[in-house]
Amino acid sequence: MKTLLAICLVVAAPFVWALDSIAAAPAAAGVVKGVVLEVKDVESYTYLRLKTKDGETWAAVGKAPVKKGAEVTVENVMVMTNFKSPSLNKTFPTILFGTLGGAPGSAGGPVRDMSMAHAGIARTADIGDVKVAKASGANARTVMEINAKAAELKDKPVLVRGKVVKFNPEIMGKNWVHLRDGSGSAAADTNDVLVTTKDQAKVGDVVTAKGVVRVNKDFGAGYSYKVLVEEATLQR
């Protein structure tokens, strides 16, 4: 009997742990209330470490003058896991995205859009070695040139030809396309360029993007880009 009881406890242990984890997890939707333990501001958003009835958790809301010790309500909550914030150089195992209760307007939509854009719904594809010929024309640039000469190319038109290695549709009203052409270095972060466009594409397509170089663009939720190409049209 003792042996049987010991076996039952061993088998049941993982399920008990799982239930404890679920009970301690933040609410998956709706409203979360808590006391602010820590505040971290980035350009457009405020990160809050909260003490809630279910334990401590992080939340991201539209930038607001929130003080440590304040009692706040986060509405329209969406939970993200393993969310990486480049601005804070921090990965959150769990974070809540939503709107600060009582704040004018709603930051929930844009914040959710940004979190989805970077939460792995479409990861960079493993398409092997990329070797794409440079576009032709007066404004033609390689991916590496756009990254390396960002200050010089700021607000100027460019043509860049590359292979689509990542495609996220309908993020903040645009399609987000990552292009590579074989130039640049992954270690130096110069081998990939983000292009935002209304046009469609799919991973593996070779396209020529015509757009305008933007520098130090902050989309909020901790996501800013040193360089990207916006207002682009795509041609195959």
| pLDDT tens digits, one per residue of 68-105 | 999 999 887 877 777 777 778 888 898 888 888 875 54
When divided into structural domains, the chain yields a total of 2
- Classify residue 197: in a domain, yes or no: yes
Q: What is the DSSP letter of 68?
A: T
Q: Give every residue of the chain whose pLDDT is below 70, as ranges.
A: 1-29, 43-44, 103-127, 220-223
- Classify residue 4: in a domain, yes or no: no
Regarding whether 112 and 147 lie in a shared domain, the answer is: no
Last residue of a domain, one of 83, 117, 151: 117
Nearest to 225 by CA among 95, 77, 43, 72: 43
Range of the domain at 39: 26-117
Residue 225: burial class (beta carbons within 10 Å; 0-12, 13-18, 19+)? middle
> Roughly how many angstroms between the first and final C-alpha of the chain, as a whole number?
72
- Classify residue 20: in a domain, yes or no: no
Regarding whether 147 and 90 lie in a shared domain, the answer is: no
- Classify residue 13: in a domain, yes or no: no
Neighbouring residues of 19: CB distance < 8 A, sequence distance ≥ 6:
none
> Residue 84 sits in a domain of what CATH number?
2.40.50
Mark 131-150 as b/e (b = at least 16 C-beta within 10 Å).
ebebbeeeeebbbbbbbbeb
Regarding whether 60 and 100 lie in a shared domain, the answer is: yes
pTM: 0.57
- Classify residue 132: in a domain, yes or no: no
> Residue 147 sits in a domain of what CATH number?
2.40.50.140
